[in-house]
Amino acid sequence: MGIKITPSILNADLADLAGEVARIPSADAVHLDVMDNRFVPNLTFGLPLIENLRAHTSMMMDIHLMIADVDRWAPGFAAAGCESVTFHIEASDAPVKLARELRALGSRAAMALRPATAIEPYEDLLGELDMVLLMTVEPGFGGQSFLDLCLPKIRRTRALLDKLGKELWLQVDGGISADTIERCVAAGADTFVAGSAVFGADDPDAVVQALREQALRVDSAV
Ligand code: DX5
Ligand code: ZN
């Protein structure tokens, strides 16, 4: 599997986003958490900030929309030049239409699931997607503890993706660190969001590199 590390800037210095992105040159993408205090009990930033950041970085922008009315708002992020846009399935009324719209605008389309949302009802949707994001904490805040109960779902999702035979990324988000990344790789994840583990460190890029090496070691062993 191609291992990808996509750090979240949620717990970074939000007043200097461009500067923070420049501190993680080894990352495969920067993961940006958009929250509206409706879908989750927290409020972060929206499209205007993302549009501004776009002008400051050429790094792949991986947008994680934790917002209600996502069918209405998500296409704007693709139109702003974000390479990947993730919507929560729990917030979308027309996910097939939305995924097609995102792809037509040139973005990758991704579907996110809360920890208690099963993947099986969405099996037929997978062919419309470029990535599945499995939350490994309840969405809303950085710095929470990884939920081990998500591991069987990671394994079942990997099996569905293998059956489909298309190149979809399987991303995990929440509580990912040196302590938890190995069990996620072993379960079949290949794309890792890490927020506090990366930006809580003095040298964020060294953590990105170390997480990648750790994941690759496990990946080549399984
Ligand atoms: C939480 C966000 C995450 C968060 C991860 O709802 O989706 O991307 O920033 O932070 P850590 O790695 O600290 O759990
Ligand atoms: Zn996220």
| CATH number of the domain encompassing residue 66 | 3.20.20.70
Q: What is the pTM of this model?
A: 0.98
Cβ-contact 132, 164 below 8 angstroms: no
Structure tokens at 159: 């099996």
Q: What percent of the chain has pLDDT over 70?
A: 100
Q: Over the chain, what is the mean pLDDT? A: 97
Largest Cα–Cα separation, the chain = 44
**C-beta contacts of 63-66 below 8 A and 24+ residues apart:** 63/32, 63/34, 64/8, 64/31, 64/32, 64/33, 64/34, 64/112, 64/133, 64/173, 64/193, 65/34, 65/91, 66/33, 66/34, 66/35, 66/36, 66/39, 66/40, 66/42, 66/112, 66/139, 66/140
Closest protein CA for atom 6 of ligand 1: 139
pLDDT at 1 over 80: no
For 35, 97, 145, 147, the CA distances from 180, given in Å and listed in that order, are 25, 35, 10, 10
Range of the domain at 22: 4-221
Query: Alpha-carbon distance 57 to 26, whole Å?
Result: 14
pLDDT at residue number 221: 84
pLDDT at 222 over 90: no
Is 35 near ligand 1, meaning CB less than 6 Å away? no
Is 194 near ligand 1, meaning CB less than 6 Å away? yes
Cβ-contact 196, 11 below 8 angstroms: yes
Q: Is 173 a catalytic residue?
A: yes
Domains of the chain: total:
1
Residues with Cβ within 8 Å of 8's Cβ and at least 6 positions away in sequence, in order, are: 31, 32, 33, 64, 142, 173, 193, 194, 195, 198, 199
The single residue of 36, 62, 130, 173 carrying the catalytic annotation is 173
Closest protein CA for atom 9 of ligand 1: 142
pLDDT at 187 over 90: yes
Is 144 near ligand 1, meaning CB less than 6 Å away? yes
pLDDT, mean of residues 184-188 = 98
pLDDT, mean of residues 165-181 = 97
Single out the residue of 56, 63, 52, 90 nearest to residue 9, CA to CA. Answer: 63
Task: Name the β-bridge partners of 45.
Answer: none
pLDDT at 7 over 90: yes
